[in-house]
Amino acid sequence: MLDTFTAYASEVITSGGLEEDFWEPQYDTLGKLAGSSAQSRDTASRTVTIGDVERPVLEGGLHIPLSSALPAIGWEFECIAVGSASDPSLLGRRWRVVSVPAKSFATARRLDVAEVVVPEEA
């Protein structure tokens, strides 16, 4: 695992009659972001709506160690440091957990995620 991510859990705070999402940091963990499998030539067939925008789901897209706390659906992971072999554009990007698959003989947690904000193109 090459990169470092901060996990955030959402908590709804009500103040003055207004509800606001507050993102509470949970822990930092090593991890890596992976694209779709090279064995599969299919494009992303599943999407989720985040902020009124349809986003493709990266199935098994975020790998974190099994020793990391089990995240919940709706948590977000932000890349806070990249390894020497990683794309520097990952830094600061955020992904929302849409599924937490489990399996026997797992070597890592492979979370289904969707990118929350797509960076602006220059």
Question: Full-prediction pTM beyond 0.85?
Answer: no
pLDDT, tens digit, for every residue of 34-44?
A: 875 555 545 55
Residue 27 in domain: yes
* List of residues 6+ apart from 109 with CB closer than 8 A: 63, 64, 65, 66, 68, 70, 71, 100
CATH number at residue 100: 2.40.10
**For residue 53, how many C-alpha atoms fall within 13 Å in the half-sphere facing its CB?**
8
The predicted structure's pLDDT at residue 117: 74
- What secondary structure does DSSP assign to 82-113, as a single string? --TTS-GGGTT-EEEEEE----TT-SSEEEEE
The predicted structure's pLDDT at residue 54: 78
For residue 86, give the amino acid letter: S
Residue 120 in domain: no
Per-residue confidence of the chain (122 residues) as pLDDT tens digits? 789 999 999 888 887 888 888 899 999 999 999 875 555 545 556 877 777 777 778 888 999 999 999 999 999 999 999 999 999 999 999 999 999 999 899 999 999 999 987 555 44
The predicted structure's pLDDT at residue 122: 41
What's the number of domains the chain is made of? 1
From the number of C-beta atoms within 10 Å of its C-beta (0-12, 13-18, 19+), residue 91 rates as middle
The predicted structure's pLDDT at residue 76: 95
Residue 13 in domain: yes
Residue 11 in domain: yes
Residue 122 in domain: no
What is the domain extent for residue 53?
3-115
Residue 98 in domain: yes
The predicted structure's pLDDT at residue 118: 55
The predicted structure's pLDDT at residue 9: 95
